[in-house]
């Protein structure tokens, strides 16, 4: 049944062509090169000319290498055995565990029927005050973390993985530095979260095609867990590398580029992944947090720009902190009304004061004299930044709210906060 071909017609970058008949679009093939076996996937058929992208890359592929079509599409094994394991973009183990071949599920499946979704209305706790209190993450939300290279976004993801109240964590690394991969592994095993985590890792030195497979593998596994009533948190880092991998393949195949070399379907491709975030009625859910590095800190770059149109808000990581101004969780209104009654008012009040602090700081830097109110704001700002915004702060929502009141009481009088008096009367620290 398996068809074997011994003649490769052309090799361009990671894409090879063979002459073959009866091949299915998106079918997998195995290619035996002198460096070992690799998977390849059909991505174009023209008559009997079949183009395949080689997962291990085109380097060292010879025109005489053997190509064997497998008669099936890309699949991933799914079972509880996945937990605690690490795989690469082809679904092969990256740790010392056995390869998994049971219960194979297709990847990149169809999208969820919108009428089968339910309105996102459950909070996902992360114990990070800048998230829980100010931009609450909601179960089934898709949010990118906009950042620039050098920011501690992987540290943030690792902390969320350890602290979030999700049943299963699926981590996808794309173009990850090897040290970062080790960092995730160590942090998660030390934090005790490894047993509920599945990792699909592509490091910067691995072949490009595997990078493109990571989100699909991750989301296919996440979806399966969600259908088994699990609340799954998907962490992806870094989606810009994923987009760059797509760009590379598209250019190799001489596709017309649209914007800065990216293929015209960048939006649809990103959306197809992000839209896997879902809350199934009477079943589990998938929540997606994805790091998107902005080349040159430019939010209008095609990758963050298209991402912003797809996702439900964004977290800005800047200077090692989640910025309260650019960050936005569009779904937070769905949940923060029913946490604690002071949540919304305190959130708004503290941000308003922090924004006044920023203005005062600007005035101070320009050499204007500071009045009494300015001094209060300056004190507030520094307390807010060190006690709330610092990434290492680990507090439950209730503790953060209490801390918020303490900071306010430390700096201001009740009526200076602009918060309704029935709330200040009840919550103001005695």
Partner 1 sequence: MTVNTGKVVSINGNLVSVEFQGNVSMNEICFVKVGGTTLKSEVIRIRGNIAQIQVYEMTDGIKCGDDVEFTGDMLSAELGPGLLGQVYDGLQNPLPVLAEQAGWFLERGIYADGLDYEKKWEFTPISKVGDTLRAGEYIGTVPEGPFTHKIFVPFNLLGKYTLKSIVPKGEYTVKETVAVLTDERGRDVSVSMSFKWPVKRAVKCYSERLAPVEAMETKVRLIDSFFPVAKGGTYCTPGPFGAGKTVLQHTTSKYADVDIVIIAACGERAGEVVETLTEFPELTDPKTGRSLMERTIIICNTSSMPVASREASVYTSVTLAEYYRQMGLNVLLLADSTSRWAQALREMSGRLEEIPGEEAFPAYLESYIAAFYERAGYVRLPDGSTGSVTIGGTVSPAGGNFEEPVTQATLKVVGAFHGLSRERSDARKYPAIDPLISWSKYRSVIDSKKSEYCKKMLHHGNEIGSMMKVVGEEGTSISDYIIYLKAEMLDAVYLQQNSFDLIDANCDTLRQRYVTDKLINILGSEYEIDNKDDARSFLNRMRQKFIDWNYTEFRSDAFKKVEAEIDTLYKEKNGNLGLDAETLLKDGE
Q: Please, what is the minimum distance in Å from the beta carbon of residue 42 to partner 1?
A: 9
Q: Please, what is the minimum distance in Å from the beta carbon of residue 275 to partner 1?
A: 4
Between helix 266-274 and helix 239-252 the angle, nearest 10°, is 140
Q: How far apart are CA 286 and CA 266, in angstroms?
A: 22
Q: Phi-psi region for residue 405, left (φ > 0), alpha (ψ -120 to 50) or beta?
A: alpha
Q: Please, what is the minimum distance in Å from the beta carbon of residue 48 to partner 1?
A: 7
Contacts of 58 (CB under 8 A, 6+ apart): 11, 12, 13, 14, 15, 16
Nearer to partner 1, 48 or 95 (CB): 48
Nearer to partner 1, 73 or 167 (CB): 73
Q: Please, what is the minimum distance in Å from the beta carbon of residue 40 to partner 1?
A: 15
Residue 55 contacts residue 90 (beta carbons within 8 Å): yes
Q: Please, what is the minimum distance in Å from the beta carbon of residue 158 to partner 1?
A: 27
Nearer to partner 1, 99 or 256 (CB): 256
Nearer to partner 1, 144 or 175 (CB): 144
The CA angle 163-241-9, to the nearest 5 degrees, is: 135
Q: How far apart are CA 296 and CA 188, in angstroms?
A: 30
Q: Please, what is the minimum distance in Å from the beta carbon of residue 17 to partner 1?
A: 13
Nearer to partner 1, 21 or 205 (CB): 21
Nearer to partner 1, 139 or 158 (CB): 139
Q: Please, what is the minimum distance in Å from the beta carbon of residue 387 to partner 1?
A: 25
Tokens 């797809």 belong to residue: 310
Residue 315 contacts residue 235 (beta carbons within 8 Å): no
Between helix 208-227 and helix 239-252 the angle, nearest 10°, is 130
**How many CB atoms neighbour CB 32 within 10 A?**
14
Element (H, E) at 374: helix 372-384
DSSP code per residue over 172-191: EEEEE-HHHHHHHHHHHHHH
Task: With CA atoms as reference, report the closest residue to 235 among 284, 304, 292.
Answer: 292
Nearer to partner 1, 175 or 324 (CB): 324
Residues at the contact surface with partner 1, assessed by CB under 8 A: 21-27, 44-48, 73, 109-120, 140, 227, 255-259, 263-265, 267-268, 271-272, 274-276, 280, 299-302, 305-306, 308-310, 312-313, 325, 328, 331
């Amino acid at each position: 049944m398996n068809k074997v071909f011994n003649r490769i017609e052309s090799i361009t970058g990671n894409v090879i062509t063979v002459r073959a008949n009866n091949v299915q679009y998106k079918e997998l093939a195995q290619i035996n090169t002198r460096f070992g076996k690799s998977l390849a996937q059909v991505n174009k058929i023209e008559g009997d000319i079949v183009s395949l992208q080689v997962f291990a890359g085109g380097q060292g592929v010879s025109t005489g290498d053997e190509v064997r079509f497998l008669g099936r599409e890309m699949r991933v094994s799914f079972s509880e055995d996945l937990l605690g394991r690490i795989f690469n973009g082809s679904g092969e183990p990256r740790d010392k565990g056995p390869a998994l071949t049971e219960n194979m599920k297709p990847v990149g499946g169809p999208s969820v029927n919108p009428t089968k979704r339910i309105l996102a209305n459950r909070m996902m706790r992360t114990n990070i005050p800048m998230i829980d209190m100010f931009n609450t993450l909601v179960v089934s939300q898709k949010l990118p973390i906009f950042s620039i290279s050098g920011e501690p976004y992987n540290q943030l993801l690792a902390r969320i993985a350890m602290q979030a109240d999700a049943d299963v964590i699926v981590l996808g690394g794309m173009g990850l530095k090897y040290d970062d991969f080790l960092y995730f592994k160590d942090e998660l095993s030390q934090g005790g979260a490894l047993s509920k985590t599945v990792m699909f890792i592509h490091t910067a030195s691995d072949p490009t095609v595997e990078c493109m497979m990571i989100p699909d593998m991750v989301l296919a596994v996440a979806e399966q867990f969600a259908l088994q009533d699990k609340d799954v948190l998907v962490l992806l880092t870094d989606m810009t590398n994923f987009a760059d991998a797509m760009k590379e393949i598209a250019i190799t195949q001489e596709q017309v580029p649209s914007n800065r070399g990216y293929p015209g379907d960048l939006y649809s491709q990103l959306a197809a992944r992000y839209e896997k975030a879902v809350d199934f009625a009477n079943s589990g859910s998938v929540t997606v947090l994805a790091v998107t590095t902005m080349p040159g800190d430019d939010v209008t770059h095609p990758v963050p720009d298209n991402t912003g149109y797809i996702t439900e808000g964004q977290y800005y990581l800047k200077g090692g902190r989640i910025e309260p101004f650019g960050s936005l969780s569009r779904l937070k209104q769905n949940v923060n009304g029913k946490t604690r009654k002071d949540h919304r008012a305190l959130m708004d009040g503290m941000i308003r004061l922090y924004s006044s602090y920023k203005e005062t700081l600007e005035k101070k830097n320009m050499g204007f004299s500071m009045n009494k109110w300015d001094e209060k704001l300056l004190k507030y700002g520094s307390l807010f930044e060190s006690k709330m915004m610092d990434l290492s702060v680990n507090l439950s929502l209730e503790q953060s709210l209490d801390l918020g009141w303490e900071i306010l009481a430390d700096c201001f009088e009740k009526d200076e906060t602009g918060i309704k008096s029935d709330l200040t009367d009840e919550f103001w620290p005695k």
